[in-house]
Every structure is written in structure tokens, then in C-alpha cells.
Structure 1
Amino acid sequence: MENSHASRRKAYVIDTNVLIHDPNSVLQFEEHRVIIPMTVLEELDKLKSVKAAVAGECRAAIRLIDRILGDAEPEQIRQGVPIFREAERTHLGTLSVLMDTHDMPTKEPLSNELNDNKIINQLVALQAGDINTKVVLVTKDINMRLKARACGLAAEDYHNDQLVSDIKQLSSGCLEIEGSFWSRVKAVDTLHRHGEVLHFVPREYFTEPLFLNQFVIDDEGFTGMVREVTGENVVLADLKRDTLMHRQAWGLRPRNLHQALALHLLMDPFVHLVSLTGAAGSGKTILALAAAIEMTVVGKRFNKIIATRSTPPLAEEHGFLPGTEEEKMDPWLGAISDNIEALHLDDHSPSGSIQYVKEKANIQFKALNYIRGRSFQKSLILIDECQNLTPYQMKAIITRAGEGSKVVCLGNLAQIDTPWLSATSSGLTYMCERFKGFRHGGHMRLQGVPRSVLAEYAEANL
């Protein structure tokens, strides 16, 4: 009986939020049958023109579904159209559309007033009509999964682009060693190359996984940065801790070692992608902004600074705000403006300094929705609140970086506002894992809350 149950065919029913999270999700179920309820198609059609933040994902999902279904007849669409992958002549699995029907053979367990309930009722009827197929609802809506299970259906989250099962597995960007690092190393080769002191440490002395541009620190003052990892050696660039702590960017100095390491990544001309995570007030935004202004105004490395972020779902309900694009984005990019002010509080004329910096650094506030399709050359792209982006959205933004550009991603994985995202499925987590080991990328999780004693106490106790 158990073997018979395990060998049943599976039909995966994809919810709207999964298609928004990953428009290519219909291709990720291998040889199984994939079903999209008509209600989901209707929701995608509505969201593509109403919800600007997810319109691109909705349109991408619709285009893919249309490509797969092609010129299939209605009956074939109901039964299942073969899913052909690119560059493959054979197909794995099928895609079908579950039509709305009012003559269900079973009693509807839930009221049809809500779309979620309507879908669940259809799946209950579908499961009752085909006991040889296991119907599985795939949704990122926890409450919908609970209701589906209560109605006797199998339901699960979408995990295809989830690279870590626990957020604790996400690297901090810094390997911290108790005591002295050199006390555990018996042999090392050291040489000077390109102005750096490099230590070739045998790989056997490291039990922890290492990746390029990761930092190694100990309690005795050693600070190293991983330059190479081979089967035999780990090459560490020796960084002087005093030099790191006294480095400035637009008059700002780091308050702790983790901020100093983050600033080192931000200012490094060979690091093109930097991600900074940490609690509210840990210094992510002000560090990134100070480094951006320093590199743009003083270093002349960039022609402009592009500041953007995802607008929260509630923001879209207020309609279009009046004014220029910058004025429309100001409520959502207030953190950027606040930190520009914080960098010039001690100036003789703070307001004049702020306006000077905005013009001199050519700081532009851009709505995330209008970045798609553009290419930014020699620009520093600063993306705030990245924890609210999906992996698909992260890719859409990072691929906008043109020649000579740098992307800085900021976020706090404890403050996710997007309903269908969690810390493990966030685009920020996905990006940090995918770029781990990328020669031109770096990640740092900031520690502590230097904003104020009050902020630090609130972060720990509220």
C-alpha cells in the first residue's frame, strides 16, 4: 500500500505568488504535470497593470506560459501540453490550465468568496476525481498552505531558488578565530606582490569553508583577506588593522572592525558587487553612501550615484505622487537623504553642503520599476532594502550594471515586508550565496548598533 502511494503520479499546482517570485517556476518540476488554475491567470493579468512592483514578473510568467501552450487546442490545454526546454528535443512534464467550473462532484469545503478558497475547492475536486494522482499545491502563502492541508490536500513552499535552509548558514563574510591565528599555523610562506603582503597558508589549517574576498580575523590583531583558495593553500592578504580603522570616506570613520572591513570592500576598485547586511542602525547605509560620494566626487571613479529601493506593497495603494521622479521616490528613499544630512551636520551651512553633494556626486533617485531595460555605465548603483526583493528582481537589477559600474546591496533580513518572502528565500540571501566566491564580489554582515545607546537597547530588548 505504501509503495503504491509513493509511486503515484504528481500534479503540481502553482499559485500566483510563486510565479511572481520566479516567473520560470513552471520549468522546475521535471517530469511532473504542472497545473495553473484559471484564477491564477486572472490574477496575473490584473497584477501586470495594477501592481507596478511585480508587473515585470507577471508579464514574464505570462510570456513563458504562452510560449509553452503555443497553438494547442483547448482540450489539449486542459489535458496537458508538453514542456520543451530550450535546446532539448524531448520534453519533461506537461503544463495544463485548470478551468473554472461550477459543477464540482464534491461539496466545496470553503467559501468561494476568496480566490485562494476558490483554488483550494477546485483542487479538492480534482483530487477526488483522480486518486491515482497526488495533487500538490505549491504556494508561498503560509495561510493558504494551512487551509489546503486542513482540506486534505498536499501543500508545500517553493524551494527551487532557496540555497540555504537556515539563515544561520549564510556567511557573515568574516571568519573569526579565537585567540591567535598564527598559533594554529605551523608553516607559512610569505611574499610581497603588487604592494601587498601575501601569506600562503596550507589549506589543512582551515576546517571552515573559505571563499574569495572573505576576511579572517583573530583576537590578537591579525586581519587577512582571502585572495586565493586552492587544494593546497589559502592565500591571505595581510591588512593592517590600524590602517583599516583610521581610513576615512567623506569624513566618516568606521566605529568598529566590521564597519572597517565593510568600508574596505566598498572602496576596493576590484570589487564590483558589495552586499552589506545587519541590524537597523549598524551603519550599512551611511557607510555605503560615504564611500559612494568619496569615490565619485574625490576619486572620480563614477559619473553618478543611482539610489533605488523596492517600494513596500502598501505604498502602491496611495496612487501616483506628484512631482519629479526624485520627489516621488523621496518618501521611500528617506534613509539616503537622512544619511546625506548626517554626513554634513557639522558643516557651517549643512543645507548648502547637502545640495552641493547631490549635484557634485550627481545623486539620482530612481524607481526600481523603471530601472529594467536600462544600462548604467560608470555608475555606483546603491540598492536599499534588498531583503524585500525576489531572486528574479535581484538579477534584473544587477544586470543593469554596465562597464565601470559598481553595485552595493543593503538589507536587514530581519525586516522583510514582502508577504511571500522569508529570510531564506529573499533575493538578498540568494544573491549572497550565488556570488560567494566571485572574484569581484564581497559580503559583510555588520555587528552592533552604533546609531545610539537607545537604538542598541531597543534592538536587543524589543
Structure 2
Amino acid sequence: MLKEKSPTSSESKAKIFVLDTNVLLHDPQCLHKFEDNTIAIPVEVLEELDGKKSAPGELGFSARKIHRDLRALFDEGLETPPELNGKGSSALSRDLPNGGRLVVVINDYMVTGESENEGLNRLKATLVNMEKMDSRILASVFFLKDVCPDSRVILVTKDANMALKGIALGLEVQDYMNDKVTTAKLGGGCKTIVVEDADYERFLEEQGVDLSPELTSHLYLNEYIYISNGEFSEPARYRGDGQIDALILGSDVGVKIPKGIRIHPLNSEQRMLMDALLDEDIKLVTCSGKAGTGKTLVSIAMALFQTIGEDNLYERVFITRPLVHIGKDTGALPGTLEEKMAPYIAPFFDNLEVLFSNRKVVKQEEPANEDSHINRITSTRKRKKAMAKLAKQPSKQESAEEDNKPRKPFQFLFDYGMVEVEAMTFIRGRSLSNTIFIIDEAQNLTPHEAKTVVSRMAEGSKVILLGDPYQVDSMFLDAWSNGLVHTAQRLKGTEITAHLELATGVRSELADLAADLL
């Protein structure tokens, strides 16, 4: 449902929501989320969607889905829209399953060139180029206001410039709010539960305590909290029915990465994150926080520990991030998929350097001498790649140069297929089992893209969404409508998900200062 402004005298009027192109592309399911109101789509929006249907990735998929859904609605024939009071007779109109109505609008005023509408004339005088799609969509809003005087006509757009134009021309404009969370639901950190001396002592001795409903009724399942008594405080996790459990790891206990370093939690927030990542029953972890709080490092460390450790819970780690540019685009990148993705996943390599910094650099001709279980999980795809490389028969000089190149201490992870780089573009249609999937910078995902990623996880898999909601680089997303916060908000309180916020910077004093003040 679209969230409304404060009630006014016009609240009793029927509402007509005019959807901009970016709203349909942002959420292809939006036609079913306006309850029993009327949705108007200017025909110019269909023209813009047509130009996007061949675009790669989710953009093209969204455009094609909207086209299919609209075609299905109008397959039974045409109706004259009663909403237009006999005007705009060439438009299409259909009832929606949720009780609302859909109208595809053709602006008769633009067809005939004749109009006495003051707003439309002001639009033509202000925006000289009426051939631009934005201008024509605004003209359709004025047309609807003129032919539907008994209705509130509201332009819904995620384009800030389009919204400003509409407001300047006196139109009622709203953002698409269905997938947004409110400011009250975003941030705030961990709650603190104050308990009596006896309950606190029992919590320390038994690693858990049952509390009364009065103390826990405001908590959701798997929420991480602080249990406090006087000046003492301990991180904990709410397991439902008043049960508060201590965390798996103590403050002085670290996790040893096979062939790498031992990583210790630097604060209680990182202990909470490690607790969620090490829990086999948790299938989805969302973690938000400012830059430098250790989200990516801790996530990669725990993923590798469970993949190449003794328990070998997972077969591989997939790592990716949305391909969103900051600043000027550098253009198409040459090379293989791994080479194209390298600039985007450089932060992962930085963290792997830290995790395996205690290993000596080895030459490629030296035997890797890996554990036997590593050989057992070597993927067929990796073997095929190795065979293809042998078939190329490189020259002796090339082989010698390759042999002399120093290997990264973590290169064996890629050689044996335990860590793979995955492009978001190719994730649709896949089914990933026994995999930990880490998506960094998840605040640049749309809610639909986040749903696509999470729904790819098969049995035995875990997905980790990381990001800073206040560093959104995508044009039509913000801190309250991106895929990271949308996923956390919609799935929190379920048995197999956990959601955390990290606020304490650990990278450096300068990084912490920049994250807070710049």
C-alpha cells in the first residue's frame, strides 16, 4: 500500500495514482499494491518501457515482466474508461484482482493540440521541449486532473528531478513507499534488558535465563540484545518465549581460519555477528553498519572457517556485489568473468590478504599440499577449466614466466573452487546448495533483486547481505527503500533469519571519523 500524507479535506476523494516509468521498473509487482485505488499509466511510459526491455539484467527483466502483465490484463478486450468521463476514449481500462482499476492514458490534449487547461498551458510555457517523455508524462497528469475533477490525481515517481518539476507546477507528488521502512525502524542499535541480580547471575552460570513476558514482549525472535545488571552488561540473543541465551563465543575466544590467522571479535557487536554466522540454523544474515565496522572481514572469515574447517559444513563460498559505479563509468572491461569482476571485488581480496597474512609466499611449481578434504570437494567445473588450460599448450617461455610469478597465500581457495566470484547478472535461474553466498554493498540492490538472490538458495545454503544503508549509489534507491533494509524488515522475527547493526568502527581512527562526520 502506498503511504499517504497527513489527512486533508481532499482525503475523501477517489485517488488516481499516475505511475512514472521508474516506479514500474523498480517494482514490477507495484500494480497490485495500491489497494482499491485507480492506477493510471500514460502511454509514454509504455514507450519508455519498450526501450528498456532489451537491457541486460534486472532492468530488462522488469520491463519485460510489466509488458507481459499488462498484456494479460487486456487480452479480453477493451473498455472505455469511465474514470475519464467520456474523454480519452482511446485509452484502455481494466479491473485489477485486488479491487483497484488500471487505466492506460492517451492524452487527447496532446493529440489535438487544443486545450484550455491552465496547468497544461503553464507546463508548455515552462518546459519548452514537450517531446521529452518526462514533459509528456507531466502533461498526462494535468489532463487527468482536468477530466477527473472529483478525484485526487497523484504523480508517483522515484525520480527526484521529475518530482521537483511536478511540485513546482502545483501537482501532488509522492514517492513510491511500499518497500520503504520508516526512520523509526531503521537504526537504533541493540536494545538493553535490565534484570535483577539473581537473573543476571543465573544467565552467567547457565549461559541463559528465562525472563517474564513484561521484559521480552517487545523483542523479536533471534534479536541480539544486551542483558544488563548495574554496571555489568553482556551481549545475548532472544530465542523466543522469554528465553535469553548467551552467545556461542566468549569475548576472549577466537576462531582459527585453516591455513590463516586466528580472528578475535574486537567488540560485542562483532561477537553478535559471529554468533549469527556460526549458527547452522540461521539461513539468512543481514548486517548493516557504517564503513570500517568489520562486516566484510568477519563474514568472510566465518564463511571460510565453515567451508575449509574440520566440520566442512559448506562446499564453497560465493562472493559478489552489485555492479554499481561511483563517479564516471570506466566502460566495458576486458577479459574473463573473474577479470571483469576483479575491480568490484577488490575489497574481498583485501580482506583475504589480512586473513592469510601469516602464510609465506610460494611459487606456483611448489606443491600446494592441501588437506585431503579439499581434494574431495574439487568441483567438476574447475577440473574442466584446468583441462581447457592444458589444451592451449602454452609456450615454454610463457610457462616459465608463469612459474616465476609469486602466488597469493589465498590462491588455493580459488584453485580448488572453494571460493568463486559470481556476477549478479547471471544469478537468475540458478539453485545454489551447500553454499555461503556473501553479497557486499547490498544497499545498492533493489528489493526485487534482493528477493531474486535470496530465492536462489537451496538446501544447506546461507546468504549474507552486508552494507551501509546511508551509502546508496543507485539512482532510485535511498536509505529506506534499498534491498538490504527491505529484506531485514520483511524477514525479521523468523526462525531462520538474523539481523544486526554494527556501529563501532575498528578500521582506524581516521576512517571512523570520516564515516561519522563526512
Q: Rate the CA distance shift 1:428–1:327 in 2: closer, same or farther, 3 A.
A: same
CA RMSD between the two structures: 2.9
In the alignment, the residues of structure 2 paired with residue 212 and residue 224 of structure 1 have an alpha-carbon distance, to the nearest angstrom, of 10
Unaligned runs of 5+ in 2: 1-6, 82-88, 363-406
Q: 1:174 is paired with a residue of what secondary structure? A: coil
User: Where does residue 88 of structure 1 map in the other structure?
Assistant: none
User: CA, structure 1 residues 99+74, in 2 after alignment: closer, same or farther (shift >3 Å)?
Assistant: farther
Structure 1 stretch displaced more, 118-127 or 105-114: 105-114
Kindly indicate whether the alpha-carbon contact (under 8 Å) linking 1:32 and 1:93 is maintained by their aligned counterparts in 2: yes
- 1:95 matched to 2:105? The reply is no
Q: In the alignment, is the contact (CA less than 8 A) between 1:187 and 1:202 conserved in 2? A: no
User: What does residue range 164-203 of structure 1 map to in structure 2 within 5 Å?
Assistant: 164-166=181-183, 168-170=184-186, 174-177=190-193, 181-183=194-196, 197-203=207-213
Aligned equivalent of 1:222: 234
Q: Determine the C-alpha separation between the residues in 2 that align with 1:278 and 1:314.
A: 19
User: For 1:143 and 1:307, how far apart are their aligned partners in 2?
Assistant: 35
Q: How many angstroms apart in 2 are the aligned matches of 1:403 and 1:344?
A: 30
Aligned pair partner of 1:327 in 313, 330, 339: 339
Q: Per-residue deviation at 1:43?
A: 1.8
Counterpart code for 1:337: F
Instruction: Give 1:439 shift.
Output: 0.8
Q: 1:145 to 1:381 in 2, by over 3 A?
A: same
CA offsets 1:402-427 (integer angstroms, 9 cap, x no match): 01000000010110011211111112
Worse overlay, 254-263 or 98-107: 98-107
- Aligned in 2, Cα 1:223/1:129: closer, same or farther, shift over 3 Å? closer
* 2:370 aligned with 1:354: no
Contact in 2 for aligned 1:188/1:201 (Cα 8 Å): no
CA deviation profile, 1:264-314 (whole Å, cap 9, x unmatched): 111111111111111111111111111111111113111111112211167
In the alignment, the residues of structure 1 paired with residue 15 and residue 164 of structure 2 have an alpha-carbon distance, to the nearest angstrom, of 20
Aligned length: 443
Q: Tell me, yes or no, if the aligned pair for 1:245 and 1:257 is still in contact at 8 Å.
A: no
Contact 2:203 2:246 in 1 (8 A): no
Structure 1: unaligned runs, 5 residues or longer: 86-90
Describe the SS at the equivalent of 2:263: coil
Q: Using a 3 Å threshold, how does the CA distance of structure 1 residues 346 and 453 change in structure 2: closer, same or farther?
A: farther
Counterpart Cα distance in 2 of 1:124 and 1:73: 24
Secondary structure (helix, strand or coil) at the match of 2:99 reads: strand
Does residue 139 in structure 1 map to residue 120 in structure 2? no
CA deviation profile, 1:172-214 (whole Å, cap 9, x unmatched): 673235xxx433777998899xxx7441111113474343343
* 2-structure distance, mates of 1:37, 1:223: 54
> What is residue 291 of structure 1 aligned with on the other side?
302
Write the mapping of 1:46-195 to structure 2, written as runs, cut at 5 A: 46-50=51-55, 52-73=57-78, 78-85=90-97, 92-99=99-106, 101-102=110-111, 103-105=113-115, 106=117, 107=121, 108=124, 109-111=126-128, 112-162=130-180, 164-166=181-183, 168-170=184-186, 174-177=190-193, 181-183=194-196
TM-score using structure 1 length: 0.87
- Residues 4-38 of structure 1 show CA distances to partners (whole Å, capped at 9, x for unaligned) of 84443321111111112211111122222211112
In 2, the alpha carbon distance for the partners of 1:122 and 1:444 equals 44
**1: CA distance, partners of 2:153 / 2:171:** 7
Q: Within 1, Cα distance between the matches of 2:504 and 2:30?
A: 38
Does the Cα contact within 8 Å between 1:281 and 1:455 map onto a contact in 2?
yes
Equivalent-residue separation in structure 2 for 1:457 and 1:4 (angstroms): 47
User: Match for 1:376 among 425, 429, 432?
Assistant: 432
Alpha-carbon distance between aligned partners in 1 of 2:185 and 2:56, rounded to the nearest angstrom: 33
Percentage of identical aligned residues? 31
Q: Secondary structure at the match of 1:458?
A: helix
Secondary structure in 2 aligned to 1:336?
helix
Change (3 A) 1:239 1:209: closer
TM-score relative to the length of structure 2:
0.78
- From 483, 486, 490, the counterpart of 1:434: 490
Pair member with larger Rg: 2
